[in-house]
């Protein structure tokens, strides 16, 4: 088996007396989808925020491609190859869809201070932006303001922005939240496609999607890691059933 | 994303019109005109922070003042200083002051940023007010204006009001052009991103601190350009030019003209200076003229309430109604 791209060791985050993430360890492989599930308040989003650098851990280690990144700022982690989407859509609403992606691609430009050059005349940035929009099937909306896109399209746009930074690891925080059936299906297809070439850590409440997408599942409850394994192992796990999934006979 | 860009022919004809002004205007109006142009440069520099980057600096007069004092301090008492030497030195002094202060202040956000920029400006004010540097609270005179002579050739004589007016016009045009290029360049696009969503900028990998520091330093240097010209014009510098009144005034100009649009800063500066001139005219208001701040303040309140995007925003709307550059207007949804 390939070396894990991300290793989390004994990660803990305290908010006052509350351990939102409590001694969590996990490993993520270079390609494929690793889903983290658990009831509300289990610490899933906190875990993503710790990995992306939005929050700093109280203790524990985060090792990305063999290097400790626990003390790096979010922008430094992004430059190492970690991109994330947020639970609440986080884009530049007043920019066009294309500009959202172009700006993300700009952060990877070797000469960020080409002071007097019109940014829109830079072909490599525009090329990347166009390409990632096509990858999420938003080409037709390139010229529209991001705020004019539907909720689902905004979520797709956010993923396109992540892709424009050419990441190796994608952290997706509930990408299906608030989506209609059709939008969900499209997003699931997209994530499936991306997981062939990227390592993805997915936090999601939609169990159908999770079991469809994940190669590895981790269950968190009250900040602690309850179980980890293949979807089949998790489905069969009695503890998980009791804590989260409900009794087997209740499930379709 | 971008506000209405006024068409080039419109701006050029405006500049031409201004360039013709010395043919007909009296010295009084030329000096008033030069004052407006200098304030426009000052307002442009602040708008780079307030309108384009989303950093509300309430201490921008500091950099204006540092450059003005630099000129005053390096000008010999009875001789003219060399323009080509003193201008870069004064602008660099302002830029360095902004770099050093910026290094400390751009880490803060929101109301804290407003307060620390103000605090640093007031510290500089105290330095010039309470020490003997630059004549203390009495200020310091610049008896002879800088000279532009290069190799025996004198392109402009700053003692001549018409020629000084031309100098300020040239500098304003260059600054306007330069800033509009910067704002379209990757750097400017990143500043716009910071204004709209700083967290997103971080998570797509922008070293936010350096971008903010760059904007702060650039804005300080351009403010220094304005401060240098102001010191040339008035031939006198005192601590009041870096006090918070001055910072408040330029912020008012930016708001009046409409934040985040280059032409707004210029319009705001013109409107402010002209309104002040109007309300403090004793020919019109007699004894009430000395209370000019009262009608001025009331009018500004009314304008800001009636025109949330300033006078410049109203002009943009007029362009839009005429169907002008619809595609760029369409990108302009964040006000």
The ipTM (two decimal places) reads 0.90
Q: Which chain B residue is nearest to residue A85, measuring alpha carbons?
A: B203
Q: Do A73 and B334 touch (CB under 8 A)?
A: no
Tell me if A101 is assigned to some domain: yes
Tell me if A182 is assigned to some domain: yes
How far apart CA A43 and CA A23 sit, in angstroms, is 11
Do A12 and A73 have their domain in common?
Answer: yes
CA proximity to A157, closest of A95, A101, A105, A78: A101
At B176, the pLDDT band (50, 70, 90 cuts) reads very high
| Domain final residue, candidates A166, A186, A218 | A166
Q: Give residue-wise pLDDT tens across range B10-21.
A: 889 999 999 999
pLDDT at A252 over 60: no
- Domain membership of residue A190 as a residue range: 1-81+167-252
How confident is the model over A180-184, as a mean pLDDT?
91
Q: Do B205 and A165 touch (CB under 8 A)?
A: yes
pLDDT reported for residue B270:
96
Tell me if B39 is assigned to some domain: yes
- Arithmetic mean of pLDDT over chain B: 91
Q: Do B184 and A118 touch (CB under 8 A)?
A: yes
Contact B224/B66 with Cβ under 8 angstroms? yes
Partners of residue B203 in chain A, C-beta under 8 Å = 52, 54, 74-75, 78, 83-84, 86, 90
How far apart CA B197 and CA A49 sit, in angstroms, is 17
Q: Do A115 and B187 touch (CB under 8 A)?
A: yes
How far apart CA B253 and CA B270 sit, in angstroms, is 8
Q: What is the CATH number for A216?
A: 3.40.50.300
- Cα angle for residues A226, A229, A234 (degrees, 5° grid): 70
Interface test with A, best of B191, B205, B212, B328 (most A CBs within 10 A): B205
| Domain final residue, candidates A166, A198, A215 | A166
pLDDT reported for residue A249:
52
pLDDT-above-70 percentage for chain B:
95
Q: Which residues of B touch A (CB under 8 A)?
A: 1, 181-182, 184-190, 192-193, 196-197, 199-208, 214, 327, 330-334
B216: tokens are 């702060």
Q: What is the CATH number for B315?
A: 1.10.3470
How far apart CA B34 and CA B262 sit, in angstroms, is 18
Do A145 and A95 have their domain in common?
Answer: yes
Give me the residue label for tokens 């208001």.
B285
pLDDT at B136 over 80: yes
- B116 CA: distance to closest CA in chain A (Å): 24
**Residue A210, CB-side half-sphere exposure with 13 Å CA sphere:** 26
Q: Helix A151-164 to helix A123-135 angle, to the nearest 10 degrees? A: 130
- Domain membership of residue B156 as a residue range: 8-330
Q: Do A95 and B208 touch (CB under 8 A)?
A: no
pLDDT at B326 over 50: no
How far apart CA B182 and CA B169 sit, in angstroms, is 20
Highest mean pLDDT among B207-221, B281-295, B309-323: B207-221
How confident is the model over A131-138, as a mean pLDDT?
96
Q: Which chain A residue is nearest to residue B2, measuring alpha carbons?
A: A95
Partners of residue A48 in chain B, C-beta under 8 Å = none
CA proximity to B18, closest of B270, B225, B308, B259: B270
Do A105 and A161 have their domain in common?
Answer: yes
B243: tokens are 């006090």
Partners of residue B187 in chain A, C-beta under 8 Å = 112-113, 115
Q: Phi then psi for A103, rounded to 5 degrees?
A: -65, -40
B111: tokens are 């109301």
How confident is the model over A108-134, as a mean pLDDT?
83
Give me the residue label for tokens 């970690």.
A82
pLDDT at A251 over 50: no
**Length, in residues, of chain B:** 335
pLDDT at B236 over 80: yes
pLDDT at B238 over 60: yes
How far apart CA B143 and CA B265 sit, in angstroms, is 31
Strand spans (E) along chain A? 6-15, 18-28, 32-37, 59-64, 67-68, 82-84, 169-173, 199-203, 216-221, 224-229
Residue B301's contacts (CB-CB under 8 Å, 6 or more residues apart) are none
Q: Do B330 and A145 touch (CB under 8 A)?
A: yes
Do A172 and A249 have their domain in common?
Answer: yes
Do A95 and A43 have their domain in common?
Answer: no
How confident is the model over B157-165, as a mean pLDDT?
93
Do A70 and A184 have their domain in common?
Answer: yes
Q: Do A83 and B204 touch (CB under 8 A)?
A: yes
Chains A, B: CB contacts within 8 A come to 106
How confident is the model over B61-90, as a mean pLDDT?
95
pLDDT reported for residue A115:
61
pLDDT reported for residue A41:
86
- How many domains would you assign to chain B? 1
- Long-range Cβ contact pairs of A184-193 (< 8 A, separation 24 or more): A184/A152, A184/A209, A186/A137, A186/A152, A186/A156, A187/A152, A187/A155, A187/A156, A188/A212, A188/A213, A190/A136, A190/A137, A190/A156, A190/A159, A191/A33, A192/A33
How far apart CA B125 and CA B68 sit, in angstroms, is 13
More confident residue, B87 or A108: B87
Reduced 3-state DSSP string for chain B: CCCCCCCHHHHHHHHHHHHHHHHHCCHHHHHHHHHHHHHHHHHHHHHHHHHHHCCCCCCCHHHHHHHHHHHHHHCCCCCCCEHHHHHHHHHHHHHHHHHHHHHHHCCCCHHHHHHHHHHHHHHHHHHHHHCCHHHHHHCEECCCCCECCECCECCCCCCCHHHHHHHHHHHHHHHHHHHHHHHHCHHHHHHHHHHHCHHHHHHCCCCHHHHHHHHHHHHHHHHHHHHHHHHHHHCEECHHHHCHHHHHHHHHHHHHHCCCCHHHHHHHHHHHHHHHHHHCCHHHHHHHHHHCHHHHHHHHHHHHHHCCCHHHHHHHHHHHHCCCCHHHHHCCCCC
pLDDT reported for residue B332:
42
- Arithmetic mean of pLDDT over chain A: 91
Contact B122/B212 with Cβ under 8 angstroms? no
Do A138 and A235 have their domain in common?
Answer: no
Residue B241's contacts (CB-CB under 8 Å, 6 or more residues apart) are B61, B64, B65, B68, B227, B230
How far apart CA B307 and CA B288 sit, in angstroms, is 27
How confident is the model over B111-135, as a mean pLDDT?
94
B144: β partners = none
Q: Which residues of A touch B (CB under 8 A)?
A: 52, 54, 73-75, 78-79, 83-84, 86, 90-96, 99, 102-104, 106-109, 112-120, 122, 125, 143, 145, 147, 161-162, 164-165
pLDDT-above-90 percentage for chain B:
72
- Give the Cβ contact number of residue A93 at 10 Å: 17
pLDDT at B327 over 70: no
DSSP state of A145: B
Partners of residue B210 in chain A, C-beta under 8 Å = none
Do A114 and A237 have their domain in common?
Answer: no
Q: Do B203 and A83 touch (CB under 8 A)?
A: yes
How far apart CA B101 and CA B97 sit, in angstroms, is 6
How far apart CA A99 and CA A79 sit, in angstroms, is 19
CA proximity to A244, closest of A48, A42, A45: A42
- Give the Cβ contact number of residue B166 at 10 Å: 21
pLDDT at A74 over 70: yes
pLDDT reported for residue B331:
44
Do A77 and A96 have their domain in common?
Answer: no
How far apart CA B106 and CA B212 sit, in angstroms, is 6
Do A178 and A249 have their domain in common?
Answer: yes
Do A202 and A251 have their domain in common?
Answer: yes
Q: Helix B83-105 to helix B110-130 angle, to the nearest 10 degrees? A: 130
| Domain final residue, candidates A166, A200, A223 | A166
Tell me if A115 is assigned to some domain: yes
Tell me if B221 is assigned to some domain: yes
Do A147 and A248 have their domain in common?
Answer: no
- B15 CA: distance to closest CA in chain A (Å): 22
pLDDT at A244 over 90: no
At A112, the pLDDT band (50, 70, 90 cuts) reads low
Of B51-60, B281-290, B297-306, the poorest mean pLDDT is in B281-290
- How many domains would you assign to chain A? 2
Tell me if A172 is assigned to some domain: yes
Partners of residue A108 in chain B, C-beta under 8 Å = 205
Partners of residue A102 in chain B, C-beta under 8 Å = 189
Tell me if A86 is assigned to some domain: no
Q: Do B333 and A112 touch (CB under 8 A)?
A: no
């Amino acid at each position: 088996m390939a070396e894990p791209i991300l290793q989390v060791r004994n990660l803990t985050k305290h908010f006052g007396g509350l351990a939102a993430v409590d001694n969590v360890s996990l490993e993520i492989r270079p390609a494929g989808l690793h889903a983290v599930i658990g009831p509300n308040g289990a610490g899933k989003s906190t875990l993503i925020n710790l990995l992306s650098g939005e929050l700093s851990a109280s203790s524990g280690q985060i090792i990305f491609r063999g290097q400790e990144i626990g003390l790096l700022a979010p922008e430094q982690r992004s430059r190492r190859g970690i991109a994330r989407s947020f639970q609440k859509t986080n884009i530049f609403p007043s920019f066009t869809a294309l500009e959202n992606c172009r700006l993300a691609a700009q952060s990877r430009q070797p000469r960020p201070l080409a002071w007097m050059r019109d940014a829109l005349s830079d072909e490599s940035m525009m090329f990347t932006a166009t390409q990632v929009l096509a990858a999420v099937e938003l080409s037709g909306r390139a010229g529209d303001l991001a705020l004019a896109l539907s909720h689902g399209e905004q979520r797709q746009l956010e993923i396109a922005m992540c892709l424009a930074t050419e990441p190796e690891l994608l952290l997706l925080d509930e990408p299906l939240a608030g989506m209609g059936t059709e939008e969900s299906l499209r997003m699931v297809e997209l994530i499936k496609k991306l997981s062939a070439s990227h390592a993805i850590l997915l936090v999601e409440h939609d169990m159908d999607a999770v079991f469809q997408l994940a190669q590895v599942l981790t269950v968190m409850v009250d900040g602690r890691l309850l179980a980890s394994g293949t979807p089949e192992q998790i489905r069969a796990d009695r503890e998980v059933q009791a804590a989260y999934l409900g009794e087997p006979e209740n499930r379709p | 994303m971008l506000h209405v860009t006024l068409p080039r022919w419109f701006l050029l004809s405006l500049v031409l019109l201004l360039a013709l002004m010395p043919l007909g205007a009296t010295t009084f109006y030329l000096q008033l005109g030069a004052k407006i142009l200098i304030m426009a440069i000052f307002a442009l520099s602040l708008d780079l922070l307030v309108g384009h980057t989303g950093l509300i600096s309430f201490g921008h007069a500091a950099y204006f003042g540092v450059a003005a004092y630099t000129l005053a301090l390096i000008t010999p008492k009875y001789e003219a200083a060399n323009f080509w030497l003193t201008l870069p030195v004064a602008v660099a002094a302002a830029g360095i002051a902004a770099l050093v202060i910026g290094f400390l202040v751009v880490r803060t956000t929101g109301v804290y940023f407003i307060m620390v920029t103000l605090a640093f400006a007031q510290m500089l004010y105290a330095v010039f007010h309470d020490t003997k540097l630059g004549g203390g609270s009495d200020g310091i005179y610049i008896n002879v204006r800088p000279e532009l002579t290069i190799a025996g050739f004198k392109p402009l004589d700053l003692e001549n009001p018409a020629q000084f007016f031309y100098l300020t016009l040239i500098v304003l045009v260059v600054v306007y052009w330069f800033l509009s290029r910067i704002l379209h360049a990757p750097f400017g696009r990143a500043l716009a991103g910071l204004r709209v969503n700083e967290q997103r900028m971080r998570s797509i990998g922008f070293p936010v601190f350096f971008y903010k520091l760059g904007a702060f330093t650039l804005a300080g240097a351009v403010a220094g350009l304005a401060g240098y010209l102001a010191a040339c014009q008035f031939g006198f510098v005192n601590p009041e030019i870096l006090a918070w009144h001055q910072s408040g005034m330029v912020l008012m100009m930016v708001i009046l003209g409409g934040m985040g649009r280059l032409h707004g800063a210029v319009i705001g500066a013109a409107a402010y200076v002209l309104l002040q001139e109007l309300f403090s005219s004793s020919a019109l208001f007699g004894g009430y003229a000395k209370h000019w701040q009262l009608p001025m303040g009331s009018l500004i309140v009314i304008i800001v309430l009636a025109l949330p995007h300033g006078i410049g925003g109203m002009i943009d709307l007029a362009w839009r109604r005429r169907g002008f550059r619809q595609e760029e207007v369409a990108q302009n949804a964040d006000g």
